[in-house]
Amino acid sequence: MNMDRTSSIQIVIRVCGIVFSILFGLFIGIYSLLPPAEMVGKIPSWIPFGDKGAHTIAYAALGFGLFFACVRIPRLAMDDRLVCSDRAERLRLTSNSGPAVLLVIVIGVVVGFGLELLQPLTGRSRDFLDLCADLLGLLVGIAVALLLLHFISESLTSRLRKRCEASGSATVAPLRSIWFSTIADALADVLCTAAVELTPDAFFALREAKAREAGELERLSVSGAQGTCDADVSDAVRRRQASLRVFEMIEENLRLAHSTGLPMCQDTGMFVVFVDIGKDCPVAISDIEAAIRTACADAVGRGWFRRSVVDEPVFGRINTGNNLPPVVAWTPVDGDILRISVLLKGFGSENCCSVRMLNPTGGETAAVDAVVDIMRAAGGKPCPPVFLGVGIGGTMEHAAMLSKRALLREAGASNPDPRYAQLEENMLEAVNSLGIGAGGLGGCVTALSVAVEFGPTHIAGMPLAVSINCWADRKVSLEFSGWEENVPTVRDLYASDGGKGGR
């Protein structure tokens, strides 16, 4: 089963659903607007509860068709060699049913309500109890559609198993299937969580920033009460109040995301993936790549991820429908570990990122000034308070990659080189002195942290890149090891045993 096969199934199901929905929609519309005299004897005697039963059956059929018209089948990018893995072969056709169910209910209720409003025009009376029967019918139709979709999924999965058994591939490298399943399942789970929950370091950074803003507001208010408050101080107080309100709205947003399971931001971003693979890691790179793509597609299907990726940037810009492909960077490391880190990179902040080719003799002053200039130009557009990743060295594109990797570091964690740790502090102080503040409304906290990564560069240059993340700092990092076991060990580096507390 490959992406083309999955796309073909999607087209067939959607076309059938659309045709079915149109036919039953016309049927419902015609019979709902018939004059009373023409309705006599139209409802078969075998339908229970008369008119209400007829509404339930008709809207069940409509809901059934609408569901297949709306449901999206994830395009699982699976390696054919892994087709016999239980995780790889399963289509999970029902994994993206949530949005389809909601859309079917909305469309069905709007149709029913509209027809009830139109019925007096044909001499029939409105009965909004019919809407209850319509809703019940929609739910019945959705349930039947889900059962049928599950049957289709199981049937196709069974056919795949038989094909693998017939070719003898089911006995090849059973550990590869286990490794694939472990990587794909674990990564999909944390990606779904990352869209909804902040990592502990980001959450604590926001809380500390709010406390700092509140303390600054209190200090300014005391100055005003002592009669030293001039026009500038009054303006500063208003800005601090606005900034503090932004922090409160962020906290409320996070509470709602936690309670509803909805993403903390509507832009669920692009998948930017960093893979650190040990030179002794037994998992093939092609298998890791397939597991990453499958995990990303699964997360998009299971979560409420907005489809935000287009297939090419200039001309057609056709939405890929699944946020694939991810952007993947590979780095070889010592040992046998496999570390997969992912940024869910929204583009409100991404559009404010920048690269500067600085004078090689500019030193620390030029680096700080460049970061300040980039953030000054960004202003409130990247939804501050922000997290800044700074890459210095290499070539232009390598500096940009270093700046992205810097965003993976926990907020407040300093560079191990004391010179660059001090540079991070100087950059953070300079950026916060801009007074952009939370939401761009002014305040003492514009950036929550600055992380600098550096590398060797040419004698004639000093490339510097700044990657900006908004306050919704969505990142995951998993480390896999213990390949000699049946199921490898998985460690979440941002969880309680790998970071500053549980997610």
Segment 349-356 shows an average pLDDT of: 98
Element (H, E) at 50: helix 50-70
Residue 137 — φ and ψ, nearest 5°? -65, -40
Per-residue model confidence (pLDDT) at position 365 = 97
Contact 494/201 with Cβ under 8 angstroms?
yes
Per-residue model confidence (pLDDT) at position 305 = 95
Residue 88 has pLDDT above 90, yes or no: no
Confidence of residue 170 (pLDDT cuts 50, 70, 90): very low
Q: Which residues of 484-501 are buried (b: 16+ CB within 10 A; e: fewer)?
A: eeeebebbbbbbeeebbe
Angstrom distance (rounded) from CA 465 to CA 395: 10
Angstrom distance (rounded) from CA 55 to CA 134: 6
Angstrom distance (rounded) from CA 473 to CA 288: 25
Contact 76/93 with Cβ under 8 angstroms?
no
Nearest to 138 by CA among 90, 202, 66: 66
pTM exceeding 0.75: no
For the segment 140-167, what is each residue's pLDDT rounded down to a tens digit?
Answer: 888 888 888 777 777 766 666 666 555 5
Angstrom distance (rounded) from CA 147 to CA 142: 9
Angstrom distance (rounded) from CA 1 to CA 157: 9
With a CB cutoff of 8 Å and minimum separation 6, the contacts of 191 are 271, 295, 296, 299, 303, 342, 344, 476
Confidence of residue 116 (pLDDT cuts 50, 70, 90): confident
For the segment 184-210, what is each residue's pLDDT rounded down to a tens digit?
Answer: 999 999 999 999 999 999 999 999 999
For the segment 400-425, what is each residue's pLDDT rounded down to a tens digit?
Answer: 999 999 999 999 999 999 999 999 99
Residue 499 has pLDDT above 50, yes or no: no
Bridge-based pairing state of the strands 447-457 and 386-394: parallel
Residue 181 has pLDDT above 80, yes or no: yes
Per-residue model confidence (pLDDT) at position 86 = 43
**Both structure tokens of 389:** 């990743």
Angstrom distance (rounded) from CA 204 to CA 201: 5
Confidence of residue 231 (pLDDT cuts 50, 70, 90): low
Per-residue model confidence (pLDDT) at position 5 = 52
DSSP state for residue 33 in the 8-state scheme: T
Contact 200/254 with Cβ under 8 angstroms?
no
Residue 467 — φ and ψ, nearest 5°? -105, 130
Element (H, E) at 52: helix 50-70
Helices and strands (DSSP H and E) totals, the chain: 14, 9
Nearest to 154 by CA among 243, 91, 88: 91
Confidence of residue 2 (pLDDT cuts 50, 70, 90): very low
Q: Which residue has the tokens 């389809």?
A: 100
